[in-house]
């Protein structure tokens, strides 16, 4: 099973088409939409995790590109500044993937970066601003 977090940018002419649904139907891929801003007659942006066999994954990405969709690997990561963290737990309430959780019985916040989808909800949800978005090298998938 191959899995990658992707940023898809849909051109205006394609936003009303069910392009992503065909990834499951025609290429046997599963997807989890993490964040999306898609408006009629405007460019659409979607962050998703795409999973499946490597061969099917590559065919699905090529299909997206043939539809005019720009495909990029996620180019950011979330980091926790341990010196700022007060372990209040506010970030755990907004984390959709469980990357942030309360460690018991210590009652401290644990951050599992492997589970993080880089949705960014924890950044404004953290009162002491211990959660930060950092840019990492991002490559356009071929």
The pLDDT, as a whole number, for residue 40 is: 78
User: Residue 24: enclosing H or E segment and its boundaries?
Assistant: helix 19-27
Same domain, 29 and 59: yes
The pLDDT tens digits of the residues spanning 33-63 come to: 988 888 877 888 888 989 999 999 999 999 9
Q: Is the pLDDT of residue 105 over 90?
A: yes
Same domain, 67 and 94: no
DSSP-derived secondary structure for 57-111: HHHHHHHHHHTT-EEEE--EEEEE-TTT-----HHHHH-SSSSEEEETTTTEEEE
122, 131 Cβ separation under 8 angstroms: yes
Q: Is the pLDDT of residue 137 over 60?
A: no
CATH number of the structural domain spanning residue 41: 3.30.70.260
pTM score, two decimals? Answer: 0.55
Same domain, 51 and 91: no
Q: How far apart are CA 65 and CA 10, in angstroms?
A: 10
Judge residue 14's burial from the number of C-beta atoms within 10 Å of its C-beta, 0-12 exposed, 13-18 middle, 19 or more buried.
middle
Mean pLDDT of the chain: 88
Q: Is the pLDDT of residue 78 over 80?
A: yes
Same domain, 85 and 124: yes
């Amino acid at each position: 099973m191959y899995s990658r977090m992707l940023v898809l940018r849909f051109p205006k002419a394609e936003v009303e088409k069910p392009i992503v649904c065909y990834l499951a139907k025609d290429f046997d891929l599963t997807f989890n939409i993490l964040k999306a801003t898609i408006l009629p007659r405007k460019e659409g942006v979607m962050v998703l995790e795409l999973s499946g066999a490597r061969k099917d994954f590559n065919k699905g990405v090529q299909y997206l590109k043939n539809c005019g969709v720009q495909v990029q690997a996620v180019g950011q990561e979330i980091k926790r500044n341990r010196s700022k963290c007060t372990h209040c737990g506010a970030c755990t309430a907004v984390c959709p993937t469980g990357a942030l959780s309360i460690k018991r019985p210590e009652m401290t916040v644990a951050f599992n970066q492997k589970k993080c989808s880089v949705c960014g909800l924890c950044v404004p949800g953290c009162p002491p601003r211990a959660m930060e978005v950092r840019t990492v090298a991002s490559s356009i998938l071929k």
